[in-house]
Each structure stands twice: as structure tokens, then as C-alpha cells.
Structure 1
Amino acid sequence: MYSRTFVHGFTAALTAALTLSGVQAYAAPASGDQLLAPRVVIYDAGASAEFKAAVDRGAAIWNESVDAVELRPAAAGQRANIRILADNGWPRALTTSLGNGTVYIGREAVNEGYNTVRISAHELGHILGLPDRKPGPCTSLMSGSSAGVSCTNPYPDAAEKAQVEGNFGAATDRPTTVARGTVIVD
């Protein structure tokens, strides 16, 4: 996230400086060596009830951890790629395709003592293309409940980050798909 912000800021400042000095600036064609714009995935936590803050924090953790995809909360009336709901069952994610699906933040796991931010980040990890890795250590976000109730780590490990970067960074010259029929170019 920080490298993306820096690159965008640096590019804007350089373009402004060149323009002020009378030099015409042109955008270079995209190549595999250049940074790709992140894919923006919109999530709607409006039905996540008491877990909204945990969902927002889980999304922020992914945004801090990877550059190839950015999770953004839905604006009023905006269609979302991910719907997040609270229910009384076990937490789960139902993916329809990479970056799309429904997440259930189940109260059953919360009532057993599992951390809500870890649950949120874990379930969002499924939407970003990660499988469960059970059994697993607390250092692996995707180890989920197998790490035990005492595990509160909501951060993906290096391998999980790399897999999400690969999942979203593999395509080149692609528009950012937000929802069916809607395309946003960053």
C-alpha cells in the first residue's frame, strides 16, 4: 500500500515538474516490469452487525499487507463484490470467483472465544483465493481455528501474502472489475 501511494505521488510530482519546465510528458506503455494498478474489490459490511469494526480492520490488514488488490468499503448504493453477513453459525466464505463472494462472520466461533478480527481477515483471505491450511501454526492466518482460541494473529504470513499477490498480480493491462457490468480504471 505504501509503495503504491509513493509511486503514484512521485509520478504526479514528476509530471507536474516536467510540465512546469515546458517538457511534454508521455505515459510509457505498460510492461511486466512496471507496477500494475491494484485491483479494487468492494465489500459491503452493512449486514455484519456487531462485527463491522472487525471486518473493516480485517480489510485494512489486507490492504497493509499486499499491493495487488485493495479492499474498499462500499459507498451508499454501490454494488459490492463481497457481501459480509453476521449469523449464528460457524464463520465461512462462499466464493463465486476470485475477489467475489459472501462472508459469514458466525457467532458460534466468537462465542467459543475466537478473535473477530482474525476471523474477518481469515474469511476475506478465502475471497482473495487462499485455502484453509489446517492444522497450522498461529503465524499462518489461514490455519484458522486449528491454531486455537488463544491465537489472535490477524496477519497473513509471507507465503499467504505472496499467493494473494500472485492471484491478483498475474494479469496485465486489465481493467479493475468491481461488480458485474461495472468497470473502474484506477
Structure 2
Amino acid sequence: MRIRTLTGSLAAVLALSSPLLWGGQAVAAPSGAPEQTSAARLLTYDASGSAEFRSAVDRGAAIWNESVDAVELRPASSGQRADIRVLADNGWPRALPTSLGNGTVYIGRQAVNQGYDTVRISAHELGHILGLPDRKPGPCSSLMSGSSAGTACTNRYPNAAERAEVEDNFAGARSGTPQRTEQTEAPGPVPQAVLIRD
């Protein structure tokens, strides 16, 4: 009986491992738990007041969509109240976050007239709405270095640290827990209703 049991066990082991031994593909058994997909927090923006900077605003939003997974920026539908309003004016670019993911961005012509890149301005100001503070002075590789990188800087993309910070700011949207909206020690989300003049 003992030999028969040992032989049966050896046969079972060989049958299970034979695909691995002879070049087949091993397949994992289903875990039984449904696979969870995590959705990004959707933020809408209204760039109807951004005048000649409309395409720069759309590109700035697309850059954030390409760069992070926890949040997605989309143009608001007609009649829909947007989370983010984007306006053009003759002043300096600035953002007025009212809470994480909400506020107003101003694409100021003063910086554009001085030679700053419009898409970099747009992505930078949207970064404030996503909870990022200015990092001045800073290198061109930092989107949030803003104007301190000079007019020659046309880097429009957040660096790894900036991307990670936005992912962390909106982590609750992916896990089902509330998003961070409180003021924290720097670096962290910008406090509510604080004008950020770049």
C-alpha cells in the first residue's frame, strides 16, 4: 500500500509539473476574489474663457492625463458646472484653488508677452489645482519651478516627484477613501482659497 501511495503521489506531481518540464506554459489558478479596477477621479474644466490659450489649456490637461493615473481632466459638457475654470487675462498667470481639484486658473498674457511657453503655463497652473505648490527657484526639469526656470524652459511635463505627489493627493479616488483636502506641511496640497501667483 505504501508503494502504491508513493507512486500515485509521484505521478500526480509529474502530471502537474510536466508543462514546465517540457516547455509548456504554467497557468495560475483563479484566486476566487474578483479583480478590482481602480478608476481615476474625474475633474472637469471649462476653458471657454481662455481665449487664444484654449489649445494650450487642452494640451496642459492632456499632459496631466498622460502623467498620472489617479486623476483625469476632461472638458466640461455644455451646461455642466466645471470643477476648474480657466480664464485669460492681461495679468500674470495664477491659480486660485478652492479645494483639491477645484478652483480657477488664469492664463496671464503678461508672462506670455515676456516669452514664457503657454502650454508650460497651463500645465503648471493646473498643477496647483491638483495640489502642487510652487518650487522656486527650481530647475527646468521641475514643472512647478514655474517662471524661475526662465523663458528658455519649455518643459511641459511634471517630474517624477511631482507626479508621485499628485498620485498621493488623489489616492483616495482610487482606493475609495476620501481625498486629501486639508492643509499639510509642505510639500502637500495647497490650502483652500489661496491665490497662487506665479
Query: Is TM (by shorter chain) over 0.5?
Result: yes
Q: Which residue of 2 aligns with 1:96?
A: 98
Residue in structure 1 matched with residue 70 of structure 2 by the alignment: 68
Answer yes or no: is the 8 Å Cα contact 1:36–1:169 preserved in 2.
no
Measured against aligned partners, the alpha-carbon deviations of 1:19-50 in whole angstroms (never above 9, x if no partner) come to xxxxxxx9838xxxx55210000000000000
CA apart distance, 1:138: 0.2
**Which of residues 158, 162, 165 in structure 2 aligns to 1:163?**
165
Q: Are residues 170 and 114 of structure 1, via their aligned partners in 2, closer, same or farther at CA, if it must alter by over 3 Å?
A: same
Tell me which residue corresponds to 1:116: 118
Structure label with greater radius of gyration? 2
Kept in 1: contact 2:86–2:107 (CA 8 A): yes
Q: Deviations over 1:30-78 (max 9, x none)?
A: xxxx552100000000000000000000000000000000000011111
Tell me the amino acid that sits aligned with residue 90 of structure 1: W
In 1, are the aligned partners of 2:57 and 2:123 still within 8 Å (CA)? yes
Per the alignment, residue 18 of structure 1 pairs with none
Q: Following the alignment from structure 2 to structure 1, what is the Cα–Cα distance between the partners of residues 62 and 56?
A: 10
Shift of 1:110: 0.2
Deviation at 1:139, TM superposition (A): 0.3
Instruction: Specify whether residues 167 and 86 from structure 1 end up closer, same or farther in structure 2 by C-alpha distance, changes over 3 A only.
Output: same
Cα distance in 2 between the residues matched to 1:145 and 1:50 = 20
CA distance in 2, matches of 1:105, 1:53: 12
- Identity percentage of aligned residues: 76
SS in 1 for 2:170: helix
Deviation for aligned residue 1:132: 0.1
Q: CA RMSD in A?
A: 1.9
Give the partner amino acid of 1:28: P
Q: CA deviation at 1:175?
A: 8.7
Query: Contact 1:82–1:103 (CA<8 Å) still a contact in 2?
Result: yes
**What runs of 5+ residues in structure 1 fail to find an aligned partner?**
1-25, 177-186
Match of 1:81 in 2: 83
Alignment of 1:166-177 (within 5 A): 166-171=168-173, 172-173=175-176
Aligned to 2:136: 134
Amino acid at match of 2:165: Q
SS of 1:170 mapped into structure 2: helix
Q: TM-score, normalised by structure 2?
A: 0.71
